[in-house]
Amino acid sequence: MRCKFSIILTGVLLLGCGDDNVNTVKNYTFPQDKSMTVGTAIDGYIECAKVDWKDASTKDLKLVSATCEIKKELIEAENKEVQAKYEEALQKAKEEQAQKLEKAIGDVLENTNNLDKESVLKIANEFCEYDISKKDQAPIFPKVICDEEKLNTKAKEIFKEPHSKALGELATKMNFKHLLEDLKFVAQYSKEEPDVRFYNQRPEEIKDKKIQVMFVVNTDKTVNIQKIALYVDGQAKELGRYFIGNFYKR
């Protein structure tokens, strides 16, 4: 019986210490901002749906964590804003892609006989296809893989010789080289996904967001901030300690 009583008493004492640490932090007032206590600042933060206070002490340190669960309506609003910006960037990228395609088709038409846009697209995509492995190469090179022999043969059939013979054989070769390259760019721009610069990829919807502040309780009952972290769907990102100031905004 004495043994059981000792265990129960120890548990009560430990629980009491934990509560004491939490209360010490919540009732503490930072010297740099005496407008309210730490507890009032964090519990009353407008973005928090709820705040979970816990004693997180280790053998060497008295620690208290305050975890602010961000309101669902704020997360939904952020998702909508991010998605809207992505859609805007995507539309702009599509327009830029269309302009590049039109220019490439126009360049092909300048060096060919009796072709229209549809014919150019058909020829380009018959002998070339977009090569995603070349996605990150310099934009001056077409990002395609082609049946070079068949493309070359077809290009000769549609190639328009320069009107002026004075331009010479060198100019003719250069024009033909440009035709081959332009056909490859037509194939690329007609198949390549638009380059959305705002994001590397389509943004994922955020489902859960938390801000956790970890406090240290010193032996003299003063309190310091150990770290502040942002958790987005479980992925942690450390914020600067200065972020504590946001909790004091009203």
DSSP string, 79-105: HHHHHHHHHHHHHHHHHHHHHHHHHHH
Look at residue 152 in the predicted model and tell me its pLDDT: 96
At residue 196 the predicted structure's pLDDT band, cuts being 50, 70 and 90, is: confident
Rounded average pLDDT over 206-220: 98
Residue 81: domain span: 77-191
| Residue 89 and residue 48 in one domain | no
At residue 198 the predicted structure's pLDDT band, cuts being 50, 70 and 90, is: low
67 in a structural domain: yes
Rounded average pLDDT over 227-245: 96
Q: Nearest-CA neighbor of 179 among 163, 155, 209, 207?
A: 155
| Residue 176 and residue 91 in one domain | yes
pLDDT digits (tens, 9 = 90+) for 82-98: 999 999 999 999 999 99
pLDDT digits (tens, 9 = 90+) for 72-131: 999 999 999 999 999 999 999 999 999 999 999 999 999 998 899 999 999 999 999 999
CA distance 49 to 151: 63
User: For the whole model, what pTM was predicted?
Assistant: 0.71
CA distance 190 to 68: 48
Structural contact between residues 51 and 69, judged by C-beta atoms closer than 8 angstroms = yes
209 in a structural domain: yes
5 in a structural domain: no
| Residue 68 and residue 93 in one domain | no
| Residue 121 and residue 183 in one domain | yes
Look at residue 11 in the predicted model and tell me its pLDDT: 41
90 in a structural domain: yes
Kindly report the backbone phi and psi dihedral angles of residue 32, in degrees, each rounded to the nearest multiple of 5, phi listed first: -80, -10
